[in-house]
Amino acid sequence: MTVMTDPILPTDVTLVADARSKIALVDDDRNILASVSMTLEAEGFDVRTYADGDSALRGLSAKPFDLVILDIKMPRMDGMELLTRLRRQSTMPVIFLTSKDDEVDEILGLRMGADDYIKKPFSQRLLIERIRTLLRRQDRLAKEEGDEDQEPPILRAGLRLDLDRFGCSWQNKPVDLTVTEFLILKALAQHPGHVKSRDQLMDAAYGESIYVDDRTIDSHIKRLRKKFRATDPEFSEIETMYGIGYRYREG
């Protein structure tokens, strides 16, 4: 599988990767492991590579990483199974690498808790910007969590969002959300009854510097609903406004 190796342009000092940012790259294509890891290391990242899901799970369980780049189709344990196991113990950002025309894998990956996806063959510059965006988001959220002037929780009928620790509960039962899911739900629940367009939800979850298509937001919404309905089959607070976006139900 080829990777588009367009030149990496000089980076503004505010975007240079922190050398402490540890990236796990998981792919059974040795060419991708070699070329992408070299590029990321040149940008200042600490990269560890894994050629299959089983070895990646052992490595990811043994030491903390800041972000994972994960291929879907791999031997010994595919990316879907690996993501499922990771989400039992961590909410660290995950970027899926998907085949060019495999939309089913993209949607399933996002529903299972991936934060973003990139189609092969891909631009390494694009991958670096996606990585930086997710790491900046994590850094910003960590700083907000440590801020003494923390925001009070968002309380709606049955819903509690603890903004200082990214905790979520429905009818006093915990609901485990990824950071992306939490930020989308926060954007909706802050203003119940107000419609949020997909673009507004993209900005809330990813920031204005990154583009994801409408299907990405739709997949995250579907996963949010699935998680809440696992706790309460009657959950219907997130409403679809066809052709416009989504809103959190008033009342």
**Domain's final residue, options 144, 171, 205:** 144
**Domain's final residue, options 96, 124, 144:** 144
Helical spans, DSSP H, in the chain: 30-42, 53-62, 79-86, 103-111, 124-146, 179-189, 198-206, 214-231
What are 141-188's pLDDT values in tens digits?
Answer: 677 666 555 678 899 999 999 887 778 999 999 998 877 888 899 999
Instruction: Check whether residue 36 and residue 139 sit in a common domain.
Output: yes
Instruction: Check whether residue 100 and residue 214 sit in a common domain.
Output: no
Q: Is residue 1 part of a domain?
A: no
**Mean pLDDT, all residues of the chain:** 81
* Residue 176 structural domain: 150-248
**Domain's final residue, options 81, 112, 144:** 144
User: Total domain count for the chain?
Assistant: 2
Residue 123 pLDDT greater than 90, yes or no? no
Helix (H, G, I), strand (E, B) or coil at 215: helix
CATH number at residue 220: 1.10.10.10
The reported pTM is 0.62
Residue 108 pLDDT greater than 80, yes or no? no
Round to whole Å and give the CA distance between 141 and 197: 23
Instruction: Check whether residue 104 and residue 161 sit in a common domain.
Output: no
Query: What number is the average pLDDT over the span 81-94?
Result: 87
